[in-house]
Homo-oligomer: A and B are copies of this chain.
Amino acid sequence: MDQILVNDRGLQYGDGVFETIKLIQGKPLLWPAHLARLEQGCNRLGIPFDGLFDRIATDVGKILAGSLWSVAILKLVVTRGAGERGYKPNKEASPTLIVSLSDYLPNESWSQDGVEVRFCRTALGINPLLSGIKHLNRLEQVLARSEWDDSTIAEGIMLDIEGNLIEGTMSNLFWVHDHSLFTPELDRCGIVGTVRQQLIKLAGQSGIPVVEGRFSSEVLKQAEEVFVCNSAIDICPVIKLAETEWPIGPITRQMQAQLKEVYAC
């Protein structure tokens, strides 16, 4: 599907959710986690999910059959479907499913040598009702990502409007301090990333304490290691942010190795 109806509520109101999934040799990574988040997002928005797993399986099967890329990004978008004018959802509407596939060239140096990131001025609004899920209302990320053109800056770190660290424009944020792994709590804004959740699980299995909480950006100055992660870039060590620099540390490397093992299974 190349086009959708202009009265689709995905366009009219951002009334839907999406997933971005990496495929290696045609195998979608963390597939169950992505599907689970998609379903959770639909549930939160009241978009009926019945039958969507079957439609996704069929459409993904078709699109993968024609693909020759060794690494690719699969994007799934589910909207509430077409509708009349007005915010009220039509309960009879059938959700729209859009499946697309694009080539992806991993930047090995990002995960090997680390990346420089910056702070964004664009702050994330606070709204628990919409936090965590990967919905289509993403203007905050668009504005944040518009703040810089310099291609040596890989990512921008976003705070909420109260000054708490939250995430990158397209990634989740972790840091290491005193042998523990820290990451911002995402109960009031932010997207709960599938790689983030996988890392929290892996850290737990390795006996590394994980602390989710509200932290100001000052805590990063005391961190021994910092990294960002998402489904496309995996884990990228952060080596510089504003005036602070970090080495690429052992826990970052351990997490990278553990994630690679999960992917290989």
Contacts and interface: CB of A to CB of B under 8 A. Distances in A.
Interface stretch (A28-36, A134-142, A202-210, A257-265): A134-142
A80 to B, nearest CB: 8
Interface string A127-163: 1111000011111111111100000000000000100
A156 B20 CA distance: 35
A2 B2 contact: no
Contacts of A89: 142, 145-146
A117 to B, nearest CB: 14
A100 B6 contact: yes
Contact of A15 (B10, B98, B124, B139): B139
Interface residues of A, number: 57
B8 A11 contact: yes
Contacts of A169: 87
Contact of A143 (B45, B145, B161, B189): B45
A60 to B, nearest CB: 15
Nearest to A84: B102
Interface of A: 1-15, 18, 20, 45-46, 73, 75, 77, 79-80, 85-89, 98, 100, 102, 122-130, 135-146, 161, 169-170, 189
Given A87-B169, A137-B138, 15 more contacts: A2-B5, A4-B4, A8-B11, A10-B11, A11-B79, A12-B136, A12-B138, A13-B139, A13-B141, A14-B14, A15-B138, A45-B142, A88-B145, A125-B125, A126-B126
